[in-house]
């Protein structure tokens, strides 16, 4: 050992193994960083989106609708899902379908209205299973969309599972007035 390492030249297999180990460590650190900052990256993508479709509060029953909306998106459009609990399996399915997940606090309206997605809004889906929550969120979002300067009418889907309540709300909401929706 006084003359140097046992083989005079390091075998190529050891060099390849060393490079693979370094690459594995680097990729795992990169994967962990991406997982930690996924929410921030999604928020940035929604922030810079020129055309956005926004889905507010999904559950397990709404996942097929989210997947269908994701498939119908154009190339430059961004699909944003606003939720207050991003750890649910239905939110993970929406992310796998290509949606950007933005965590908001629905009890604080400014966390919803302060988003920049309203300026490029193309379509709005309110898909909570609670119809009163959907209607209160629509009342919160409408001024934000108007302040963002949406000049054209925007397609709106509101989930109301009771057909009688849906017909009644539709008649009250759109009975002769121009709401922009």
Give this prediction's pTM.
Answer: 0.77
Q: Which of 98, 94, 152 minimizes the C-alpha distance to 121?
A: 152
Write the pLDDT tens digit of every residue in 6-25.
666 778 888 899 999 999 99
H or E element at residue 81 = strand 77-83
| Beta carbons of 109 and 140 less than 8 angstroms apart | yes
Write the pLDDT tens digit of every residue in 12-66.
888 899 999 999 999 999 999 888 888 888 888 888 888 889 999 888 888 999 9
Average pLDDT over all residues of the chain? 85
**What is the three-class DSSP state of 179?**
coil
What is the Cα–Cα distance from 149 to 178, expressed in whole angstroms?
16
| Beta carbons of 44 and 93 less than 8 angstroms apart | no
- What band does 178 get if pLDDT is binned at 50, 70 and 90? low
């Amino acid at each position: 050992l006084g003359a140097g390492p046992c083989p005079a030249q390091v075998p190529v297999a050891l060099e390849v193994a060393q490079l693979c180990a370094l690459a594995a460590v680097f990729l795992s650190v990169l994967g962990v960083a991406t997982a930690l900052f996924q929410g921030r990256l999604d928020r940035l993508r929604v922030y810079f989106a020129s055309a956005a479709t926004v889905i507010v509060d999904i559950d397990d029953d709404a996942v097929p609708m989210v997947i269908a909306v994701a498939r119908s998106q154009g190339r430059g459009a961004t699909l944003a899902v606003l939720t207050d609990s991003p750890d649910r399996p239905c939110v993970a399915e929406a992310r796998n379908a290509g949606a950007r997940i933005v965590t908001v606090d629905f009890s604080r309206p400014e966390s919803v209205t302060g988003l920049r997605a309203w300026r490029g809004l193309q379509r709005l889906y309110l898909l909570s299973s609670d119809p009163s929550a959907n209607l209160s969120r629509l009342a919160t979002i409408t001024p934000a969309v108007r302040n963002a300067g949406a000049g054209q009418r925007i397609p709106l889907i509101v989930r109301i599972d009771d057909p009688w309540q849906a017909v009644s709300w539709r008649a009250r909401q759109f009975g002769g007035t121009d709401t922009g929706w």
